[in-house]
Structure 1
Amino acid sequence: PEDVTEEVLCRTPGFTGWLQEEWLHHCGDAAAFLGPVGASEVADLPDALDALRNEYRGYDWPADKIEEFILTLDRNGLATAYLFRCLSCGVHLAYADFA
Structure 2
Amino acid sequence: MEYILNTQEDKRERLLKVMTCIEQCAPLANLSMDYNMPTFRTEQGWISVANQKHYLPVYTCQAEHIAAYKMLYPKQKTGKGCINFSDKDAIDFAALTDVINNALSE
Higher helix share: 2
Q: Highest relative contact order (Cα 8 Å, sep 6+), 1 or 2?
A: 1
What TM-score do you get using the length of structure 1 for normalisation? 0.29
What TM-score do you get using the length of structure 2 for normalisation? 0.28
- Structure with the greater alpha carbon radius of gyration: 1
